[in-house]
Amino acid sequence: MENTRQLVRGAGLWGSDLMVFDSLPSTNAWALEHAGELKHGDVVRAIRQSTGRGRFDRTWVSPGKCCLTLSAVLKSGAQDTSGDALLLPVAAIALRNALKEFGLTAMLKWPNDVLVAGKKIAGILAESVTANSMLVLGIGLNVNITAPALSGMTFEQPPTSMAVERARLFDVDLVCRRLLIDLEKAIEFTQQNGPASVAARWKENDCLIGRTIAVKGQQDTVTGRYDGMQADGQLALVDAAGKRRLFWSGDVTVMLNGEC
């Protein structure tokens, strides 16, 4: 169900617009459905999102007004973000930087997880429309969701929120503004410094360094020693036979040397 929409001109990325809906099933779904009407840099935010989606057809739960759920529109040609594969890490770096402003130290887990104290605080989902050469970068950040509310939910990995980690509530509008500033900066930094700069910045807070991991791809699961995120965004691991393997996508589980 779609309802009231507030248009905040100039509050999106690079002076584009921010649309704030009271409620949407999914900001990514709405942006993809309205691809033709949206401009590069427009941001679609929902105060309540009822059926948010995550990677691998998972659902993204963000009840009530607790959380930040938004989708940023990036139109190719107008914007070179050095390839779609790098957008997830670039957005994760922006989230890490924004969280730092609010006193939280985040770690990054390839390809799209932002963790605080080993628990997932944010997720990113990039989806594209080829006909409109548009990429929708969906971001979900747990801002004020409480520990009891989190404990009643089932996730593929333990969740947390800014409020749980800092024992205080946050102004979600302020968090949104900060995140959009950091997202803009992170994309511009990548354009100016090239794709290799993403891997370098990722490494500063890469929670998989030194770990033995399992990467579950579409065909099979491969176990090995994590060997870093590459300049093109791929994950590298060295398997039991000493062979270096590269992955564009997959689900990562830490097998040895502790959790993230």
CB closer to ligand BTN, 71 vs 81: 71
DSSP code per residue over 191-236: HHH-THHHHHHHHTTBTTTT-EEEEE-SS-EEEEEEEEE-TTS-EE
CA distance 122 to 114: 5
Q: Tell the smallest beta-carbon distance from residue 34 to ligand BTN (Å).
A: 13
CA 161 to chain centre: 14
Q: Tell the smallest beta-carbon distance from residue 96 to ligand BTN (Å).
A: 15
CB closer to ligand BTN, 186 vs 225: 186
Position with the least CB separation from ligand BTN: 123
Cα-based distances in Å from 101 to 98, 104, 170, 177? 5, 7, 12, 12
Q: Tell the smallest beta-carbon distance from residue 239 to ligand BTN (Å).
A: 26
Tokens of 191: 């354009």
Containing H/E element for 239? strand 235-239
CA distance 117 to 34: 37
CA angle 202, 44, 137 (to 5 degrees): 30
CB closer to ligand BTN, 232 vs 251: 251
CB closer to ligand BTN, 122 vs 199: 122
Q: Tell the smallest beta-carbon distance from residue 139 to ligand BTN (Å).
A: 6
- Classify the C-alpha dihedral 196-200-203-209 as positive or negative: positive
Q: Tell the smallest beta-carbon distance from residue 24 to ligand BTN (Å).
A: 8
Cα-based distances in Å from 166 to 82, 155, 234? 35, 21, 33
Residues near ligand BTN (CB under 6 A): 26-28, 52-55, 58, 60, 69-71, 112, 123-125, 138-140
CB closer to ligand BTN, 138 vs 250: 138
CB closer to ligand BTN, 125 vs 215: 125
Q: Tell the smallest beta-carbon distance from residue 208 to ligand BTN (Å).
A: 16
